[in-house]
Amino acid sequence: MSRADKPDQPALDALPSEDAPAPTQKGIEAIRAAWKRLPSRPGVYRMLGADGEVLYVGKAKNLKHRVGQYAQGRGHSNAIYRMIQQTAALEVIVTATETEALLLETNLIKRLKPRFNVLMRDDKSFPFIAIRTDHPVACLQKHRGAKNFKGKFYGPFASAGAVNRTLNTLQKAFLLRSCSDSVFSGRTRPCMLYQIKRCSGPCVDLIGEAEYGALVKDASDFLEGRSAELQERLARDMRTAAEKLEFEHAARLRNRIRALASVRAAQGINPSTFAEADVFALHQEGGQSCVQVFFFRAGQNWGNRAYFPRHGAEETPAGIMAAFIAQFYEEREPPKLLLVNVEPNDRELLEQALCLRAAYKLEIRKPERGEKREIVDAAWLNAREALGRRLAESGSVAKLLGGVADIFGLSEAPERIEVYDNSHIQGANALGAMIVAGPDGFVRNQYRKFNMDRAQFGGDDFAMMKAMIKRRFARMLAERENDDASTPSVSSPIEGERGGSGALLDGGVDFSKERDAGERETKFAAWPDLVLIDGGEGQLNAALEALDELGLRGKLAIVAIAKGADRDAGRERFFMPGRAPFRLDEKSPVLYYLQRLRDEAHRFAIGAHRGKRSSSIAKSPLDEIDGIGPARKRALLNRFGSARGVSRAALAELEDVEGVNKELAKRIHDYFHDKR
């Protein structure tokens, strides 16, 4: 739960569990009950809801004073007031210093994702360029994740595309190998990369060890910021080669100079006043924020990325910046200089926490003039433009969702649309797929796959659809039953007021009353505003049968979308309970939007099906036999050539294989003969 188990994190003292308030208390009473027994020491506190959900994680220099502010019950913003009202328990962890409390707070926020905290989204790892030196012939490659091999790492880069473009140019400039060690050791003649002049052919000794080592050093010099000196030296070498009439060598040097120049030109702003820094620029508009992050390494711009943190309307720019930077470096190594356009809250404390994590001194600075200010302003301009595009896209999506509500008779624009599809080949490797979409686009971390048993369903699409719908909504009901039914639903101010929406069908029943607006989106308990089935009337009836068995028919808005007779896009027919099939205008923007949803579900289902099929193809019958690991499997395949050869082998032949005793040989023999 905490960083206490990590070597760079000091041990933490947890407050005894009896300090938690009684489970029957709620709101200010629960907080006051815990506050009476809190120590006046630094630490981290967690506010919990009635169902155990973590509502908020905070840190304090003095726990008793900080929690006492909540216990007063006045002077709070609307968001804080709603959070207090939902609090049923409060847990604390005492730390030695406020810096340790900040580190722990960041760790818990990243892991628990409390709804009332500022949350950094899109938390993907950044790619690096690595020069591997754990092989006698160094290798140039892209790398993500742990640095668990010997070599030099350069980055981070803002995207895989930026790394790939840089690698492509570096291969032209330095001719370093990019193949795996196994491919390298198995070569008997140079590969295609040598033919197109992107590798020097060290695998077949077309370049000497010393000369290849010089190329590796040149590549390292360039990636470490010594590109200008490198280009000057290459230019001198080119002139010398030309004077000696070594024109082929001079042409190779010329091509390397051009490649290096193209990399430097593509990197945009290349600062002269610092070599390494990360730049953070925050822009707020329309109740949303964008943080643009620029990466500078070795005096070069290695790309940028925009983030849109989730936060409440009352959050200040300084608070958002502080929370974002703390979470951003939770699992990343910070540079020694961070440039910002908004000075974060508790800047000195944040610097101390990052220094403790990185084990070297670093600085957070808001520049006022000069080149650094110009770079920060450029990052802010990018943040403003990115947020403007996002707001424009959100506005267009809002109009589309309003159109969906009008067409399907929903009381409000849907905020959660679930789309279902099946994929199989004559019943083999069958699975169902669910995707989720909303005002912010596709919610990919909530996509789900449903494995289907071929023996049970064969190739019956209708039976698979019924089983998938029943499994999904049975899980929803089970999770919702586990919640405290007596707890009133309060919507999260961070996500906005989310009243439910549903179809006005069956006599004008408003399904919004069935929805819990405070549910956690990461659960199956989330109630969809619209269920979209990829299929026709048969698939719709199968889904309705499943809802009938769960007692949910009439409580969910459900629609099936089927292609026309010629399977042409634009001629889709829609099926709804209690309504005749209908079509939309072929040029309707809402139709295009629904097609996108349907196509995304189909893409996800097909991709998952192909992955399942590939796994089944790669699987060997030998994997199902107890006692056969990789070594024995390899020995059997080396002896008999294939699993079929093993199945035909006599018992005595199996016993002759190295590592296979009589008992295992009999087990293998019986397995295949029982199958027959």
User: Of the ranges 155-169, 399-413, 529-543, 610-624, which one carries the lowest mean pLDDT score?
Assistant: 610-624
- pLDDT tens-place string over residues 11-36: 444 444 434 444 456 778 888 888 88
Confidence check: pLDDT of 616 > 80: no
Distance CA 315, CA 664 (A): 66
664 SS3 class: helix
Residue type, 8: D
Which of the listed ranges 184-188, 495-499, 573-577 does the model predict with the highest average pLDDT? 573-577
Confidence check: pLDDT of 202 > 50: yes
305 SS3 class: strand
- Rounded to an integer, the average pLDDT of 153-176 is 78
Distance CA 128, CA 160 (A): 9
Phi, psi of 388 (to 5 degrees): -60, -45
| Amino acid 146: pLDDT | 75
| Amino acid 456: pLDDT | 67
For residues 585 and 674, the model is more confident at: 585
Confidence of residue 75 (pLDDT cuts 50, 70, 90): low
Cis peptide before 156 (omega within 30 of 0): yes
The C-alpha angle 133, 224, 301, rounded to 5 degrees, equals: 125
| Amino acid 408: pLDDT | 92
151 vs 132, 143, 156, 161, 326, CA distance in Å? Answer: 4, 11, 15, 22, 28
Tokens read off for 150:
């010997």
Question: 197: Cβ–Cβ under 8 A, 6 or more apart, which residues?
Answer: 172, 175, 255
Confidence of residue 626 (pLDDT cuts 50, 70, 90): confident
Phi, psi of 30 (to 5 degrees): -65, -40
- Domains of the chain plus CATH, in order, are 3-112 (3.40.1440.10), 128-266 (no CATH), 277-388 (3.30.420.10), 409-616 (3.30.420.340), 621-675 (1.10.150.20)
Task: Answer yes or no: are the C-beta atoms of 594 and 530 closer than 8 Å.
Answer: no
- pLDDT tens-place string over residues 81-117: 888 888 888 888 888 888 888 888 888 887 788 888 8
Which of the listed ranges 142-146, 260-264, 474-478, 503-507 does the model predict with the highest average pLDDT? 474-478
Tokens read off for 246:
């070594």
Distance CA 391, CA 397 (A): 10
Distance CA 369, CA 376 (A): 10
Percent of the chain with pLDDT over 90: 11
191 vs 165, 177, 185, 197, 206, CA distance in Å? Answer: 21, 10, 12, 10, 12
| Amino acid 457: pLDDT | 64
Confidence check: pLDDT of 59 > 80: yes
- What rounded mean pLDDT belongs to the chain? 78
Task: Answer yes or no: are the C-beta atoms of 357 and 103 closer than 8 Å.
Answer: yes
DSSP states of 523-554 as a string?
STTPPPSEEEEES-HHHHHHHHHHHHHHT-TT
| Amino acid 1: pLDDT | 37
- Rounded to an integer, the average pLDDT of 637-651 is 81
Phi, psi of 550 (to 5 degrees): -95, 0
For residues 377 and 36, the model is more confident at: 377
Q: What is the pTM of this model?
A: 0.55
Task: Answer yes or no: are the C-beta atoms of 622 and 644 closer than 8 Å.
Answer: no
Confidence check: pLDDT of 3 > 60: no
| Amino acid 544: pLDDT | 93
Confidence of residue 665 (pLDDT cuts 50, 70, 90): confident
Name residue 256's beta-bridge partners.
none
For residues 516 and 610, the model is more confident at: 610
| Amino acid 18: pLDDT | 39
Nearest to 471 by CA among 437, 443, 433: 433
